[in-house]
Amino acid sequence: MATLTPQPHSADDAWWRGAVIYQIYPRSFQDANGDGIGDLKGITQRLEYVADLGVDAIWLSPFFASPMKDMGYDVSDYCAVDPVFGDLADFDALVAKAHALGVRVIIDQVLSHSSDQHPWFRESRQSKDNPKADWYVWADARPDGTPPTNWQSVFGGSAWTWNAKRRQYYLHNFLSSQPDLNFHTPAVQDALLDSVRFWLDRRVDGFRLDTVNYYFHDRQLRDNPPAVQAADDPPEINPYGFQDHQFDKTRPENISFLKQFRVLLNEYPDRMSVGEVGEGDGDRSLQIMAEYTADGDRLHMCYSFDMLGEPFTQTHFRNCIKNFDAASQTYGGAKSWPCWAFSNHDVQRHVSRWVGPGDDPVQLAKLAAALLLSLKGSVCLYQGEEFGLPEAELEFEDLTDPFGIAFWPEFKGRDGCRTPMVWESTARNAGFSSAPKPWLPVKAPHLALAARAQMGRADSVLEQYRRFLAFRKTRQSLITGQIAFLDWADGLAFVRREVAEATLCVFNLSHASVTFEAPEEHKALIGHGFTATEDGKTIALDGHQAYFAAL
């Protein structure tokens, strides 16, 4: 492997610290050619909407050439646009328009595995001695013909599939059509970094790295031990959860590759990276986030699934932030930086996840936005959450997600959060597509929440997102400030502080009314869209309300 030489870069490159990134799932954002599938031209047509929302960047889920067995997360050509989304000229036009609107562009990079239709794998599987024989993870069967290890696929079943041509098993942490690349082979790292450079030269501003802790596997192919589970725990729906994944991911060799990735990015001014840490254990995932963003020579930031699940409690949010900060001290302190999200293309939408008996989903959506945008870290918003969209309820015959198809109905998969954007409630397919039938259906409960119906309505979730994003830009402490939590049994309260500016943030996470005793010296802030009454130090907050003050 060719070792890259670190290049100096400016402190001004830190635009990403505290940035708000809007995730676009291309298949579901806007269909420009009427085939029922969203595309790059459709995204370009809607960029004014995104810019007006007030975000700093967009993150595009994969649009690369792919057989679409996992909706683009199975790449067959890292340097080509899949025809269903358009072509390279369409991508260049998207980047140019986004930049003209002041919006940066981040793209997904799926480096841990490719499609089995990638030319690299087609060559690798032909023999044990071809030039790319070791570009994927191959291993002989055990003497009894069973797979080399007990490793499980995230999508269920063994992580190994037999290939009759090579008479060996190959590793796949996800679908069998997604073979894992062998990062122990230097030429693989070089080839992947070359593909990253290709997009850097096309002026992308950063990369979201899919499953960033899955790059390396244990060379010795040791079996994973069983996960520690309480005796009364119910059996896992997915057998993946039965193991402590010590040897099939999060290997120490990963750090050296992340450093090489950062060196490449540093050759280009103002570029950034955010890694997805796929780890089930909350404490462990936060430690990985801190380690992978340490020392200023690895990733710029990471996110995990800790805030993409349950619960909606002050203890959970507080512990996520505090435990990440504590882990960061082990790996260099202030240089480690998190990125948080409440929804994305892999999880149930947070309004459905968190709404409970007596809750108003509209007010819950508004409060969740304010909370997410007030936490220490950068933020990812997922398309449609600014409408307060709930999870779509789909029939089995509507599903496209192999994960959901495999575990239905106990797990309904990821299609319910991937349905098309709803732009206009009275238009065909809510304005997403003119096709007779889009790739996933637009469900009736979403129509009333369409963008057009919410625009200009002061009480809508959409206008609250716009309002709070604008308010946030007036308070530097909410963007890059440190965080200090306050003891308050009835909700979540903290202070964000940046140099001489401090902002008090108070959140009532329940639908019941509560009071909060504010510090002696404070000045209520306005413009954020929440209402609260004050009587001296006592702040009265109705259900799912927030309060902000300057200290």
Catalytic residues: 210, 267
Name residue 137's amino acid.
V
Read off the tokens for 366: 């508004």
Q: What are phi and psi of 2, to 5 degrees?
A: -75, 125
The tokens 């570029």 sit on which residue? 271
C-alpha closest to that of 99 among 203, 17, 206? 203
**What Rg, from alpha-carbon coordinates, does the chain have?**
23
Q: What are phi and psi of 548, to 5 degrees?
A: -135, 140
Alpha helices in 345-487 (DSSP H): 350-354, 361-372, 402-407, 444-447, 451-454, 461-472, 476-480
C-alpha closest to that of 272 among 9, 49, 73? 9
Report how far residue 195's alpha carbon sits from residue 114's, in angstroms, rounded to the nearest whole number.
13
What is residue 121's three-state secondary structure? helix
Give the C-alpha distances (Å, rounded to integers) separating 173 from 181, 276, 319.
Answer: 10, 15, 30
Dihedral sign from CA coordinates of 115, 346, 160, 112: positive
What is residue 433's three-state secondary structure? coil
The tokens 């936060």 sit on which residue? 286
